[in-house]
Every structure is written in C-alpha cells, then in structure tokens.
Amino acid sequence: MLEKILSLDTELFIFLNGLGSETYDGLWLFITKQSNWIPLFLLLAYVLYKKLGAKQTLYILLFIAVLLTITDQTANLFKNGFQRLRPCNNPEINSFIRVVQFRNSFSFFSGHAVNSMGVATFLFFNFKHKIKYFGFLFLWPLIFAYSRIYLGLHYPLDILTGYLVGFIFGFFMFKIYRAAQLKYFPRTDK
C-alpha cells in the first residue's frame, strides 16, 4: 500500500514539475525565497497593529515565533527520521525531471508548507471575523509550497503532509493563544 502511494506521489510530482518552463524559473526561484515575502509579512504586521495596537501585536508575534520554531523543528525531525530523498537527488527520476534548484537535505515533509500553513491557519482563526476576505491569506502557503514542486525539491505528499501538520499546529496554537489572551488580556468592552 505504501509503495503504491509513493508511486502515485512520484507520478503526480513528475506531471506537476513537468508543467514548468525556463521562462518562469526566475519567478518561482523568487517565490520560494522566504526573504522575498517580507513585504507581505510587514503588511500583515501593520494590519495587526492597526487592529490590535502595539502590545497585542507583539504578543501575537511572539506566538507566531513559537509556532514557527515548533513547525520548523518538527519538519526537521521528520526529514531526518524518514530520510526520503528529494526529487532532485532521486537517481530514479532526476535525469528526466526539471531540476531548477538543488538541496542536499531530505524531503519529507516540506518545511515551507508546514511553516506557511501553520502561520496562515493561526492568523486566519484569529482574524477571520475581523478582517474581510482574510481567507485569501491561504494563497500564500499554496503558492509558496507549490514552488517547491516546480523547482524539483518536494513531492506533492511532502507538501500535503506539511499542510496538514501546519494546519494542526496552527489551530492548536490559536487555541493556546486564545486561552492566554483571555487570561492576560481580558476584554473590557463588555
């Protein structure tokens, strides 16, 4: 059963990766670099500041930092535990797939996917009723993680698992944040 799933995963990767072209390689290399998303992060921080004020914004950013530490280290733990070769390093397929970028680390599961989905989930549950169309934030992990398939660095299962784990951690961090918020920042507008 596992072999069949991995085989389908590889086939889907080959299909999705094969959709790319040299024309768009630069765009996807730009998208995959975390520092290029700084304008989005600054915009989100500004929106949080306008909605919450400085103290609450710093508090929520602290929770995001803890969340990112947990998701990133969990991804590293899984990568080193499973030691699945990245597509770009897999000798069975790397001679005929599009390899735009190389990494020597392992593949399962995607740190880009788990980190971006964790933060998007955490922020979404906190602000879905306060900011109109905030669900569009989920475009960020979708585009960000797809870049890893495009570049030849992750299989779809790596991305989907990262999404699932990120969603779980993001939701639980939201619950912890809400409990802490009620304890340390009780609402006074009642």
Q: Does residue 55 sit within a domain?
A: yes
Residues in the chain predicted with pLDDT less than 70, given as ranges, are: 185-190
Range of the domain at 108: 30-184
User: What's the pLDDT at 190?
Assistant: 47
Contact between 18 and 97 (Cβ < 8 Å) = yes
Contact between 117 and 167 (Cβ < 8 Å) = yes
Give the C-alpha separation, 112 to 120, whole Å.
12
Q: Does residue 25 sit within a domain?
A: no
Give SS3 for 186. coil
| Nearest residue to 145 via CA among 127, 131, 162, 132 | 162
Give the C-alpha separation, 73 to 110, whole Å.
11
Contact between 96 and 152 (Cβ < 8 Å) = no
Q: Does residue 1 sit within a domain?
A: no
Structure tokens at 123: 């922020």
User: What's the pLDDT at 188?
Assistant: 52
Q: Does residue 4 sit within a domain?
A: no
**Number of domains making up the chain:** 1
User: What's the pLDDT at 164?
Assistant: 97
Please give the single-letter amino acid code of residue 189.
Answer: D
Q: Does residue 7 sit within a domain?
A: no
DSSP 8-state code for residue 133: T
Give SS3 for 93. coil
Give the C-alpha separation, 142 to 179, whole Å.
29
Q: If you search the block for the tokens 């961090």, which residue do you land on?
A: 173
Give SS3 for 146. helix
Q: Does residue 8 sit within a domain?
A: no
Q: Does residue 102 sit within a domain?
A: yes
User: What's the pLDDT at 187?
Assistant: 63
Structure tokens at 68: 């990112």
Q: Does residue 44 sit within a domain?
A: yes
Give the C-alpha separation, 181 to 175, whole Å.
10
- For the four alpha carbons of 136, 182, 168 and 162, in that order, the dihedral sign comes to positive
